């Protein structure tokens, strides 16, 4: 599985459908100008390949899609939210190490 095929890009219109998937979905809320977002991007991409079919990774550009981040109360980026069956089950704000992110995901992914 390549990184490009492992990551979905979601919008305000496609977000709700994406997080209702049967597979847990990690959504990375980011922006082009955000340096911490750029710093964590390779970690998120590595997890997409590492977890494969067990986890869906989605990215949402908050500048291009302001509706969902506002609805979810996102005030800082990067914010990574983990959804199961459409419900928010965990989240991390800020650029964290891969081990921290993996620990969060492992609690919810088989």
Instruction: Tell me which residues are annotated as active site.
Output: 34, 37
Per-residue CA distances from 88 to 1, 2, 20, 36, 69 (Å): 26, 27, 10, 22, 13
The rounded distance, in Å, linking the Cα atoms of 44 and 28 is 8
């Amino acid at each position: 599985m390549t990184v490009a095929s492992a990551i979905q890009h979601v919008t305000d219109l496609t977000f709700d459908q994406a997080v209702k998937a049967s597979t847990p979905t990690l959504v990375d809320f980011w922006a082009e100008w955000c340096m911490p977002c750029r710093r964590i991007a390779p970690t998120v991409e590595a997890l997409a390949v590492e977890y494969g079919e067990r986890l869906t990774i989605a990215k949402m550009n908050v500048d291009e899609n302001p509706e969902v981040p506002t609805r979810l109360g996102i005030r800082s980026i990067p914010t990574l939210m983990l959804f199961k069956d459409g419900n928010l089950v965990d989240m991390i704000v800020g650029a964290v190490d891969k081990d921290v992110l993996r620990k969060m995901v492992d609690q919810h992914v088989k």
